[in-house]
Each structure stands twice: as C-alpha cells, then as structure tokens.
Amino acid sequence: MKIKLLIISFVTLSLTACAQKDNSIKESAKSYSYETIVSDLQTPWGMAFLPDGSMLITEKSGKLIHFKDGEKQLINDVPEVYNRGQGGLMDVVLDPNYQKNGWIYISYSSSEGEGNGGNTAIMRAKLIDNQLTEKELLYKATPNTSKGEHFGSRIAFDNNGYLYFSAGERGERDINPQDITRDNGKIYRINTDGTIPSDNPFVNEPNAKKAIYSFGHRNPQGMILHPNTGEIWVHEHGPKGGDEINIIKKSANYGWPVVTHGLNYSGTSITSETSRPDMEDPIYYWIPSIAPSGMVYVTSDKYPYLKDNLLIGSLKFQYLELDILEGEKVIKRERLLEGIGRVRDVRQGPDGFIYVAVEGLGIVKLIASETKI
C-alpha cells in the first residue's frame, strides 16, 4: 500500500447567505495524508463494506470488484450495463439487515425494455462465491434514450427500511422533471422487494409513476440518511452554477428547471426565478458549480474536526469538500485533498475511517494530522 502526504490549504468561506461567489483563502492550513487502499481503478463509482471488512466497488464500465485481503476479485454475473457518457454501473449498498438476508442493491444504466439507448435501473442480488445470485430487477425507468447524461443514481435507506434512489432527468429538462407521469428527474421510494409503499404520495394519481417520492430534480449524485434527523439528504448537479443540497420531503417539487440559481452552459438565462412558494428551496447551493458526487455525514471520532459535518466530492475541482453545518445550514466550506483527482464517492467505513473513491487512482483512506503550517 502506498502512503502519500498532502499539505492541504483549506479554503474557508464565511457564508452570510445561502451561497457566496467569493472563494477567498484564509491564512490557515492543516495537513492531511491519505493511504491508497485499492489502486489502479479507472472510474470507481460506488463502494460498500461487507461485514468481514472486505469491500465491494463498482467500476462505471460494468465491473463489480470484491476487494478482500489485499486482492481485487471480479464478481461474475453482474448485469449488463449501458455504458455511455455518465451511465454505467453506479451505486452499491447493502440491505440494512444484510447479515440476516444477504441482499445487495445496485443502480446501473440498463438497455432493457423498448427503444434504443438506456435508462436508470435498480436491482438486488446476493453474493455467493464471488457470483451474483437471485438477481431481481426492482425498477427500470422508461423510456430508453441514447443520450449520455443525467442517470443519477444513488441509493439510501431510511430508518423504516424504505429504499430511496435517484434518477436524473436524462437531458430532457423541459419534459421529465416536472411531469409525475414520466420517469426521470425524480427521487423514488420503494420497498426492498420493489413493490410500492401504500403511502407513497402519488399512488392514487391517475397515470402517475407510483414510485415517485419527490420531483423537479436535475441529476442527484449524492444521497444519505441523516443519522440524527432521519431525513434523506441529496445533492444534485446544477447547470452552470446552481448545484444544490436538498432535504427530501414527501411529494415536494424541487423546481428544476422552473427555478434555479444556474445558467445555461452558454451563459444565457434558463429562468429569471430562483424560488417559488410552491417549490422547495435548497438548503445550500454552489456558485460556481463544484460538480458534486458522493456524500457522507461524518460521525466518527477519528476525525474530531470533521465530525457532525458533510464531506462531498468535487468532480470539477478535484478535491474533497468539507461543509461545516449549523443545524441545516452550511456555514463554512473547506477544501481537503486538493488536486487528488475527480472525487466520485466518499463513505465512512465500519472502522470509522473515511474512504474516498478517486477516478484514475482508486480508493484512498483519509488520515488526519494536527500538523500546522
């Protein structure tokens, strides 16, 4: 294993409003090191920790890796993925009762069903002798499209055992996110066997997609269960500016593309509105966009400075962002591991350490130091 010491200047942003455009640097710094745990990965998208301390890692290309005793083993019978653009093999999580039932849940882009291209799918399976068995497709968004953007897709469980997952709007911003009769641009809630909870908000709406829990989303690639409040928190990519952190509420509309703090990539306006009374405001938004991916709420005592705050990966700026919280407000931002590469995921392991998935590098473990410079 390789150990690399990084001297990281933290960028501290004093926030007097929901977001600031000023990225001024304070005259303070800390040092952190990271230890490379799994090397030579191309696009590690998600990771999950098994009870024996080994790790499951998804590669966007379609490989599911079992990392155990220092060796990478490929898992067989992984579902075929529609590997295009942002699509591929994405998140992997264990059932909250994994030790009793053995279920593993995976999100991926699938070409199953009618039409060319693919769309977001959720499946579950069991792992026996490095092979997926008892595979079940739980949800498949439709229609297929050959567009390569905005598949989502993260998975999280709430305290009642419901499974939540995200599906981006697949580049169809004016069609999908505001229409509950269509998939995409949504957060979904299902039972662990793929059936629909009877109290989902749109189960009695004619023609609605019954699995929808909230709508008006663009491309959520971070999702967690807040350990203290029991709420589902997500972050999602905005266009040019306007990445957001949202707290998910039943039947709520999160506004895309009717309201946004972002612009078209050309710099032209999408809308003049940033808020509406019938739409949920984000608890935080980024200008400029950081292209967030992966998110964890730190509870570990191994990182006293990070504890009770968020860590979020930045694909665009290639660092790990610390968002310091005061209740539901982000009051300060700091950069960790600047220049490490495109951070795709971040998780807290059962050993209390923070693990970060970095494109072109692999999985690294964050090691804190109190060294001052």
Q: What size, in residues, is the chain?
A: 373
How far apart are alpha carbons 67 and 54 in whole angstroms? 6
Which alpha helices (H) appear in the chain, and where do they start and end? Answer: 98-101
CB 20 within 8 A of CB 330: no
CB 222 within 8 A of CB 297: no
Q: Kind of pairing, strands 131-140 and 232-236?
A: unpaired
Catalytic residue from among 66, 150, 217, 226: 150
150 as an active site residue: the answer is yes
How far apart are alpha carbons 230 and 235 in whole angstroms? 16
The token duo for 135 is 């595979």
Nearest to 234 by CA among 199, 266, 191, 280: 280
Other CB atoms within a 10 A radius of the CB of residue 354 amount to 23
How far apart are alpha carbons 305 and 298 in whole angstroms? 10
| Burial tier of 347 (Cβ tally within 10 Å: 0-12, 13-18, 19+) | buried
For CA atoms 58, 110, 162, 298, the dihedral sign is positive
How far apart are alpha carbons 187 and 167 in whole angstroms? 7
The DSSP call for residue 52 is: T
The token duo for 214 is 């909230």
Q: Is the bond preceding residue 292 a cis peptide, omega within 30 degrees? A: no
Helix (H) or strand (E) holding 2: strand 2-8
Task: Just list the catalytic residues.
Answer: 150
